[in-house]
Amino acid sequence: CLSSAAPPLEEVDIDVDIENVLLDHFKEPNVVKQILNLYQNNIFSLDIEKHVSKKKGFRIFSKSLDDADVNNMHHITESIIMRVKANIEKKEKDKMDYSRTFIHEILKEVGKGMNSVPNTANYTFNKDYRIDLSLYLCRMAAERFKDMHTAFRKANDPVVYLE
The per-residue pLDDT for 1 is: 45
Q: Which residue has the higher pLDDT, 113 or 19?
A: 113
Identify the band that residue 16 occupies on the pLDDT scale cut at 50, 70 and 90. Answer: very high
The arithmetic mean of pLDDT across residues 119-147, rounded, is 93
% residues pLDDT > 70 (the chain)? 82
Instruction: Give me the DSSP letters along the chain.
Output: -HHHHSPPPPP--HHHHHHHHHHHHH--THHHHHHHHHTT--S----HHHHEEEPB-STTPBPPP-HHHHHHHHHHHHHHHHHHHHHHHHHHHTTPPP-THHHHHHHHHHHHHHHTS-TTSSEEE-HHHHHHHHHHHHHHHHHHHHHHHHHHHHHH-HHHHH-
pTM of the model: 0.86
138-161 per-position pLDDT tens digit: 999 999 999 999 999 888 876 655
Spatial separation of the C-alpha atoms in residues 41 and 140, rounded to whole Å: 9
The per-residue pLDDT for 34 is: 76
The arithmetic mean of pLDDT across residues 85-102, rounded, is 96
58-91 per-position pLDDT tens digit: 655 567 889 999 999 999 999 999 999 999 999 9
Q: Is the pLDDT of residue 111 over 60?
A: yes
The arithmetic mean of pLDDT across residues 122-142, rounded, is 94
Which residue, among 129, 138, 142, 111, has the nearest Cα to 74 in the 3D structure? 129
The per-residue pLDDT for 3 is: 47
